[in-house]
Structure 1
């Protein structure tokens, strides 16, 4: 039985380098009775057909909030401004009906925890079939057959048997693959993968990354990979966007970011990665201080209080990302590109 959908040939022919998702000046804040939290501040990025863009940063930096804003899944307490364009379609400000027609069909998401994302009382086949019946108008029988194909596509053995099973009968790795199968069921133009390898052992993690790589090659899908695992970024990403306190602080190709990071925060993250052969030989350095409160976005560098390079200007003026030259950095004192990549930004 073929694992290819008829649309695959068309999607795979998408021209590499053509932006399919463009986010401009995206800001997200959450209000309560006592305060307002500014989770994302004027974030911009784009991802091209067949490209993997990784968004990295510490927990709480705004990675997942960004993805939920793009999908239109934030609660009513959120205020979202800026532009989110999928192809030529503006999603920011779209109605729920308009977004429902796009989500799962042209824009799909793999959520962090498959055990809580999958319905425990519905079979795997029914949950995959739901998106096919809604967006492609397939009959129950056709959706069931396609569900088997999709499970085979993401590498689940004995897919004919698995479609009749429930989420608790599958391992964590298999449940994550089911989430991927649901997300790619309609061959979306853009797939957002939010921490797709969290809590999985390294063998299963490698398998999930292999599935994502295979899908982008087969379908030409653009992938936004949200993670804090720099090892995953090195294995899977073409370009990297580094976030700190809701802002973009560095953008570069994956190769350039790992060999010549220029923002002190990025260098701090990389210096804290355990390298082969160094186990037990040195204490991993840490970035001193704490992530700032997001109740206000100051007109200053939000990393200044934790940075050894900071001066008075850093605390009084906000640095903008340098012009689009490929490697962009938002810092008044970026580290020289020729400096050793292992140099510690924080001591």
Structure 2
């Protein structure tokens, strides 16, 4: 397939019916003393061949959202809303049905390959297990396919590496093995949870190239969880920004980077290091968002970001803004998007006048 043909096929796939739909997803964890509301009202759709980036600070609910989609949350979790894959409802589905879908139609690249891979099994054994379970391949056929997959994800000498153990591989190679396992059965949806964390830029570029190739060749829909906005700009089609378990902005990658509407999104973009740039007040340091992410055991009635927002008023403290359409497909949960647009987020009223 030529580059033009691949691009055309990918564009056609993205215009198809969504393969994954998440509607008003909520996830809470019930403990002995309090309930933690980890995810509150997340909705999105994902078409074949589309890449949705989910961004936000640590603890904002990105990984919990994806673990809910995979059906991998612990028994203490309470899930509400709807998750459909190929029209099948996953919330409340029997574990047997979820096991039949995981690895075959729905797959995940976990954040830390060294803890996700089994240290006492060879790389080949861990790949062939998926192939034999979901595709019914024999031992020799599965091994041959495992070698092929290792070659596809860019591991040199795959016929030798297939018999090695995780500790014999570098971090980048282990991440590629995780990708090989995740895509072994050509899943319709691939969730990549921080797939380039702690990797050097050269290895990171190689991992992203593998994901793009899968999207273009197979029409795989990808949910990319990341803190790296450079990766988002280079890879994603759409972006979902989460804060304290809630969606605050969703737009195409071009719209979001050209005209971020939510003060939190503007703060994230303002904290990106750029060559030759200077921070606030001309200081040689990154801009920062003052304050901390709120305790999810005590979600405020109003906007979760209000205590850290320079534009917050009385309405923001008492009335939670709904995620509504701003323009085109741009969605935002903010009472004052017009005030925030075009103005860099300042310190909230409580901290103005201080020199941090």
Same fold (TM over 0.5): yes
* CA deviation after TM superposition for structure 1 residue 252, in Å: 0.5
Q: Which residue of 2 aligns with 1:304?
A: 306
Equivalent residue in structure 1 for 2:291, among 289, 292, 301: 289
Cα deviation digits, residues 120-171 of structure 1 (max 9, x gap): 1111111000000000000011100000110111111111111011101110
Alignment of 1:198-237 (within 5 A): 198-237=197-236
Q: Which residue of 1 aligns with 2:329?
A: 326
Cα deviation digits, residues 285-339 of structure 1 (max 9, x gap): 2111111111133331010010000000001111011138311110000146972
* CA deviation after TM superposition for structure 1 residue 47, in Å: 0.9
Q: Which residue of 2 aligns with 1:245?
A: 244
Alignment of 1:254-269 (within 5 A): 254-269=253-268
Query: What is the distance in 2 between the residues matched to 1:128 and 1:14?
Result: 31
Q: Which residue of 2 aligns with 1:165?
A: 164
Cα deviation digits, residues 174-198 of structure 1 (max 9, x gap): 0000000000000000000000001
Query: What is the distance in 2 between the residues matched to 1:194 and 1:81?
Result: 22
* CA deviation after TM superposition for structure 1 residue 80, in Å: 0.6
Query: What is the distance in 2 between the residues matched to 1:81 and 1:261?
Result: 29
* CA deviation after TM superposition for structure 1 residue 16, in Å: 2.0
Q: Which residue of 2 aligns with 1:3?
A: none
* CA deviation after TM superposition for structure 1 residue 259, in Å: 1.2
The answer to whether the Cα contact below 8 Å between 1:306 and 1:346 also exists between their aligned partners in 2 is: no
Query: What is the distance in 1 between the residues matched to 2:299 and 2:240?
Result: 19
Q: Counterpart of 1:15 in 2: which secondary structure?
A: helix
Query: What is the distance in 2 between the residues matched to 1:287 and 1:22?
Result: 32
Query: What is the distance in 2 between the residues matched to 1:279 and 1:285?
Result: 8
Provide the alpha-carbon RMSD of the alignment: 1.7
Cα deviation digits, residues 246-270 of structure 1 (max 9, x gap): 0000001111111110000000011
Cα deviation digits, residues 59-82 of structure 1 (max 9, x gap): 000000000000000001111111
What stretches of structure 1 of length at least 5 have no aligned partner?
1-10
The answer to whether the Cα contact below 8 Å between 1:286 and 1:346 also exists between their aligned partners in 2 is: no
* CA deviation after TM superposition for structure 1 residue 46, in Å: 1.0
Query: What is the distance in 1 between the residues matched to 2:344 and 2:284?
Result: 13
Cα deviation digits, residues 36-93 of structure 1 (max 9, x gap): 1000001101111100000000000000000000000000111111100001111110
Alignment of 1:1-347 (within 5 A): 15-17=13-15, 18-278=17-277, 282-323=284-325, 325-335=328-338, 339=342, 343-347=343-347
Q: Counterpart of 1:19 in 2: which secondary structure?
A: coil
The answer to whether the Cα contact below 8 Å between 2:278 and 2:285 also exists between their aligned partners in 1 is: no
Tell me the TM-score normalised to structure 1 length.
0.93
The answer to whether the Cα contact below 8 Å between 1:53 and 1:225 also exists between their aligned partners in 2 is: yes
Cα deviation digits, residues 4-39 of structure 1 (max 9, x gap): xxxxxxx97973222111000100001111111000
More helix as a share of residues: 2
Cα deviation digits, residues 85-126 of structure 1 (max 9, x gap): 001111110111110000000000000000010001111111
Query: What is the distance in 2 between the residues matched to 1:104 and 1:336?
Result: 46
* CA deviation after TM superposition for structure 1 residue 228, in Å: 1.1
Q: Counterpart of 2:14 in 1: which secondary structure?
A: coil
Query: What is the distance in 2 between the residues matched to 1:96 and 1:202?
Result: 39
The answer to whether the Cα contact below 8 Å between 2:263 and 2:340 also exists between their aligned partners in 1 is: no
Query: What is the distance in 1 between the residues matched to 2:306 and 2:63?
Result: 24
